Amino acid sequence: MRNGYHIVVCGSIVPDPLQTLEPIETPGGPALKNEMMLPAVLDPWASHALYEAANLASKVAGSKVWLVSVAPKAKLQQVMMTVAQKVSFELVAVDGPASGFGDAYGVAAILADEVQSIAGLDRSRLLVFGGWESASRGAGVTMQLVGERLGIADQFQGVDQITTQADGSFEVLERIEGGRHQVSMCSGPPALLGWATGNLPEPRNNPQVGMANMRTVMPALQRAKAAALAGSGLRFLSTTPPKQQRQTRIVKNRPVEEIAQEIVEWIGK
């Protein structure tokens, strides 16, 4: 593409996957116990989107990457200390809840508004990246709703690869049923891509990139405006963690068909 892409990545933070999460009821609705004390990371799905965005920007001259994130700014600052050393981007921060109890419609509305408010953003060069799924907001529709609010008709979900062409168009590799991929061609921006795991390794930490990013990250966090997620009439009757269940029985010399049939019957219960 002649002038490069304007790539906006939507992604939030989530508790470290190694932590035990316990839902509790609060006056404001369900939340996670000691949520502000839990170590956090950038959502793994959003991480792939960010790394793919940076990789694309490095290949197409004139491209720029923004990261739009709705999260408690104190926790977001901690995460940015690490993420900022991976790739170059400009942060657009919104001080809001990052738990998995937020309604996808409300999250999408905030994200879309922030994307539209980015100064100097050229919609004719716009690519919106995000996670196909999420480790907290796993409704699977957030990015689609963002695209609809931005008026982007060309949307691709479950993306593993994007290959740019000389004329500004690009080829997209999307996951479909049966462990296969669908190859699509898009004439060019604007477009929205919900990323799966992709095929890029996690970039190494680069202190110089980190220092350059932090010059814009810290001011972005300081001016982050507060945003409350509207419930839109959503009400939780109860929240409980999944229960572990294990039933072990040692059986010898039994036909495989009988074992498989017993497993099927157990699952059916």
pLDDT in tens, 214-242: 888 888 888 888 877 765 556 666 666 66
What percentage of the chain carries pLDDT values higher than 90? 13
The answer to whether the bond into 190 is cis (omega within 30° of 0) is yes
Rounded Cα–Cα distance for residues 126 and 35 (Å): 34
Nearest to 79 by CA among 9, 14, 33: 14
pLDDT on residue 203: 87
Q: Are 129 and 54 in contact (CB under 8 A)?
A: no
Q: Are 198 and 52 in contact (CB under 8 A)?
A: yes
Domain ranges of the chain: 6-226
Residues pairing with 186 in the sheet: 170
- Alpha carbon distances (Å) from 86 to 62, 157, 197: 20, 24, 17
pLDDT on residue 239: 66
Burial state string for 51-86 with b = 16 or more CB within 10 A and e = fewer than 16? bbbbebbeebeebbbbbbbbbbbebbbebbeebbbb
pLDDT on residue 129: 93
Q: Judge whether residue 9 has pLDDT over 90.
A: yes
154 token code pair: 């060309």
pLDDT on residue 67: 92
pLDDT on residue 240: 67
pLDDT on residue 128: 93
pLDDT on residue 213: 86
Q: Are 160 and 198 in contact (CB under 8 A)?
A: yes
Q: Judge whether residue 117 has pLDDT over 90.
A: no
β-bridge pairing 155-164 and 170-176: antiparallel
Rounded Cα–Cα distance for residues 5 and 21 (Å): 39
Report, at the CATH architecture level, how domain 6-226 is classified.
3-Layer(aba) Sandwich (3.40)
Rounded Cα–Cα distance for residues 167 and 50 (Å): 24
Using one digit for the tens of pLDDT, what is the confidence trace for 136-167?
766 678 888 889 999 999 999 888 899 988 88
Q: Judge whether residue 44 has pLDDT over 70.
A: yes
Q: Distance between alpha carbon 57 and the CA centroid of its chain, in Å?
A: 18
Rounded Cα–Cα distance for residues 152 and 111 (Å): 14
Task: Please state the rounded mean pLDDT for residues 112-136.
Answer: 86
Among 39-48, 130-139, 211-220, the least confident range = 130-139
Task: Please state the rounded mean pLDDT for residues 175-181.
Answer: 84
253 token code pair: 């010399």
Rounded Cα–Cα distance for residues 10 and 105 (Å): 14
The pTM assigned to this predicted structure is 0.79
